[in-house]
Structure 1
């Protein structure tokens, strides 16, 4: 199951990254940056953003941030791994999972996965924005070399905790959603087993 999640995640990244790149640039347009390495943008809309990016930076710029995005596909895999690990341990002590069990384990699993991968999400956002005077001899902004460079620069400027700026908001955004998702997942699984006439005693 985690392998299927990973494969679907890779396909999703490759298909949707151009939309995320344009979305990120439009959202940050007009923002004031303290970092002089960032070049401001001036897009009239979605179509104009696509046109300017392809004209000025090349079509491949639409896939800026693909490398960290592909690494972030491991986020749901990590999430499911921890969730299944928690569930197996708990089911050794009791015969059923309650709704509260599924909710709490889902929340904790997502919190762990998000915390582990958050530095990559920060770099991903920078690369998607793309207007960064970074290593002019290497315009492949999504390369491993530049990902590591951005991580080092963030630590140099803001310290180790700079890699986790905004983590609290991200956790609030994702943890509750994941907890509810696992709760619904367990309920639907139990209902499916009942309809099929199979024994399934994990939740109640």
Structure 2
């Protein structure tokens, strides 16, 4: 996340700042650095890392725990992987959404927006952001965008389904571990498919979490399907169908590379752990 963080900053600006003329990642990053300083693309890095650690822990722990209880040595299938991913994603969303609402606000604090309707915020840190949101907007505001987030559990679910499916297909008749390059490519393909399929929901999610769009303020704890369709309709009306995919270039570049590296490290650390314990990874062979 640290390596590719500026790409995520560019993606978020494109999603919430409707009047920004720059449309491509390099030009957006150049604008941010020129107007706000060299370190501006890394604004909000610490709360994002904290949220990421909590989110990944909750997701992977839930995914592997449910998998161990459900399968109990039986063969896994793409359908089962999808269900496991959805269950883990729902638990993750309900537990960690307040963290992501706060880090979205912190990432955009101090940004020079082209949209004059956006009001500046003043948070001194994670705890202060929690306190201000709680007292000025109420407890439900910490779960802004929960409905699109719940729908977005399809993203990691699709990601893991494609990832595990590709591993199974490529592993048939083969022996030994995947190479680092193979794991990287499989992880990248899986994330690219999942991100592109669910990106319009991610655009709505960012707008609702930011909390400054007129319709997002009218939404309650989870928002509503009406809010989601309204925001989609507004994006299409103003920018065409491309408006639903603003920042996709930056998001794909950031998430695909991040996910590929994550899967690479995940597989290497798991293999090393099993070697240290003197065990064979019979379950992961399927």
> How many Å separate the matches in 1 of 2:282 and 2:88?
30
Q: Does 1:82 align with 2:162?
A: yes
> How many Å separate the matches in 2 of 1:181 and 1:135?
32
Q: Where does the alignment leave 5 or more consecutive residues of structure 1 unmatched?
A: none
**What pairs with 1:109-128 in structure 2 (closer than 5 Å)?**
109-128=190-209
Which residue in 1 is equivalent to 2:35? Answer: none
Q: Where does the alignment leave 5 or more consecutive residues of structure 2 unmatched?
A: 1-66, 68-80
Shift of 1:73: 1.8
Q: Does 1:69 align with 2:143?
A: no
Which residue in 2 is equivalent to 1:159? Answer: 240
- In 2, are the aligned partners of 1:39 and 1:133 still within 8 Å (CA)? no
Which residue in 1 is equivalent to 2:39? Answer: none
- In 2, are the aligned partners of 1:190 and 1:200 still within 8 Å (CA)? no
CA separation of 1:134 and 1:188: change in aligned 2, threshold 3 A: closer
- In 2, are the aligned partners of 1:67 and 1:142 still within 8 Å (CA)? yes
Q: Does 1:18 align with 2:98?
A: yes
CA separation of 1:102 and 1:64: change in aligned 2, threshold 3 A: same
Aligned length: 200
CA separation of 1:4 and 1:24: change in aligned 2, threshold 3 A: same
**What pairs with 1:29-48 in structure 2 (closer than 5 Å)?**
29-35=109-115, 38-46=117-125, 47-48=127-128
Under a length normalisation based on structure 2, what TM-score does the superposition of the two structures give?
0.59
> How many Å separate the matches in 1 of 2:264 and 2:112?
41
> How many Å separate the matches in 1 of 2:106 and 2:183?
38
Under a length normalisation based on structure 1, what TM-score does the superposition of the two structures give?
0.80
Greater Cα shift, 186-195 or 94-103: 186-195
Shift of 1:148: 1.3
Shift of 1:98: 3.6
Shift of 1:130: 0.9
